[in-house]
Amino acid sequence: MEFVDCTLEAHGDAILDIFNEAILNSTALYDYKPRPRESMEGWFKTKQDNRFPVIGAVDEQGRLLGFASYGTFRAWPAYKYSVEHSVYVHKDHRGKGLGLLLMERLIAAARQQHKHVMVGGIDMANHGSIALHERLGFQHCGTIRQAGFKFGRWLDLGFYQLLLDTPPQPVDG
């Protein structure tokens, strides 16, 4: 296994497959319908324009096993040191520690880019993701009860945050 910087050309279809499987079969994404192929163009453009990493884990044949990324937490300027992240592992490769390895690399990228807060919005029934984040030092910082409705039930959205020791000298503006 190796870790790579994902691109639309090399990994867009595989990322879309992972997203769509999660949409159809889990509450990891609060979407109802699978995303169309063209949605990946905008997704990757936003990542590229903002220098947000998309870190992938690939096998010996170059198949994507999982990925992690982050993006804008909130659009106002004072949030420039905060990011909201996500990590997804292909259904056939879950439970093997891949999410942990991807998150470790994503946290390192956030430090390198001088981010200060990483935020994960996690469905409170997703015990595996919660355990992963707690293992990495993330702390529960709040829950929005019944924030979503999917699969005929209300979903509680928990927020988990990790404070980083960067940037060395934050500035206003």
Task: CATH number of the domain at 18, please.
Answer: 3.40.630.30
Residue 56 lies in a domain: yes
Q: Model's pTM, two decimal places?
A: 0.96
Is 169 inside a domain boundary? Answer: no
- Would 85 be classed as within a structural domain? yes
Under 8 Å between Cβ of 83 and 70: yes
Q: Which pLDDT tens digit goes with each residue over 9-63?
A: 999 999 999 999 999 999 999 999 999 999 999 999 999 999 999 999 999 999 9
Q: Which ranges of the chain would DSSP assign to H, the alpha helix?
A: 8-25, 39-49, 98-112, 127-135
Q: Domain residues for 90?
A: 2-163
In a domain, 143, yes or no: yes
- What is the amino acid identity at position 71? G
List beta partners, residue 3.
57
- Asked if residue 82 belongs to a domain, the reply is yes
pLDDT of residue 123: 98
Categorize the per-residue pLDDT at 173 as very low, low, confident or very high, splitting at 50, 70 and 90. Answer: confident
Q: How many domains does the structure of the chain reveal?
A: 1
- 172, part of any domain: no
Q: Which strands form 139-150's sheet, in the order they lie side by side?
A: 2-5, 54-58, 64-72, 82-89, 117-123, 153-163, 139-150
Domain membership of residue 168 (yes or no) is no
Residue 141: band (very low, low, confident or very high) from pLDDT cuts 50, 70, 90: very high
Cis peptide bond prior to 77, omega within 30° of 0: no
pLDDT in tens, 75-131: 999 999 999 999 999 999 999 999 999 999 999 999 999 999 999 999 999 999 999
pLDDT of residue 153: 98
Is 170 a member of any domain? no
Identify the band that residue 143 occupies on the pLDDT scale cut at 50, 70 and 90. very high
Residue for token pair 């870790």: 3
